[in-house]
Amino acid sequence: MKTIICIDDEKLSLDTITLICESSGHKTLGFTSPIKALEYIKENHDNVGLIFLDLMMPEMYGLNALKKIRDNETTSNIPVVINSCLSDPEEINKISKVKQTDYINKPFTTSQILDAIETRLI
């Protein structure tokens, strides 16, 4: 079973997504640092099946992290679900144009997370 990676600087959001994933039987790793998460993903890309990624983080903007994931040949096909309270239609439109990337608005529901896992986990 591949691991679900959750990246969010807000501990409550990170813990919530991790709990939902784990309660549905999935191995999950949570990171508050997108830089550390990207290092892990690059080194363990064969074992990563899905990434939940926040946008608004102080260490690195989520779209920049997404670009690093998509620009790396070994990680470019890992599905990513952006979870953010973003309300800018332009930014949401940018996300929708990136391959294998979905968007969930915060506050998210358990069913949204489970649906994303069901449809995107590789």
Kindly report the average pLDDT of the chain as a whole number: 94
Q: Which pTM was predicted?
A: 0.94
User: Of 23, 45, 30, which is closest to residue 122 (Cα–Cα)?
Assistant: 45
> For residue 118, what pLDDT band results from cuts at 50, 70 and 90?
very high
Give the three-class secondary structure for 51.
strand
